[in-house]
Amino acid sequence: MTKPIRAAKRMGDPGGLLGLFAIAYLLFLYIPVLFLPVFSFNDSIFVAFPLKGFTTKWYEQAFADDDMLRALTASLQVGAVASIVATILGLLGAKAVTRYQMPGQSLVTGTIMLPLFIPEIILGIALLILINALSIPLSLFSIAIGHIMLCTPFAMAVLTSRLDGFDKSLEEASMDLGETPWMTFWRVTFPLVLPGIVSSMLLSFIVSFDEFLLSFFLQGQQPTLPVFIWSQLRFPNKLPSVLALGAVILIVSCLLVVLAEWVRQLGTDERKVGVA
Question: Which residues sit at the interface with other proteins, rule CB under 8 A?
Answer: 101, 167, 169-170, 172-180, 187-188, 191-192, 270-271, 273-276
Closer residue to other proteins (CB): 166 or 228: 166
CB of 176 or CB of 261, closer to other proteins: 176
Question: In this complex, which beta carbon is closest to other proteins, that of residue 48 or of residue 102?
Answer: 102
Going from the C-alpha of 268 to that of each of 58, 102, 149, 192, 228, the distances in angstroms are: 42, 27, 27, 10, 39
* Cross-strand bridge partners of residue 54: 42
Whose Cβ is closer to other proteins: residue 238's or residue 264's? 264
4 CA to centre of own chain: 30
Residue 166 Cβ vs other proteins, minimum distance, rounded to whole Å: 9
How many Å apart are CA 34 and CA 22, to the nearest integer?
Answer: 18
Q: How many alpha carbons lie under 13 Å from residue 1 in its C-beta half-sphere?
A: 3
- CB neighbourhood size of 265 (10 A): 12
Q: Which residues pair with 42 in a beta bridge?
A: 54
Query: How far apart are CB 109 and other proteins at their closest, in Å?
Result: 18
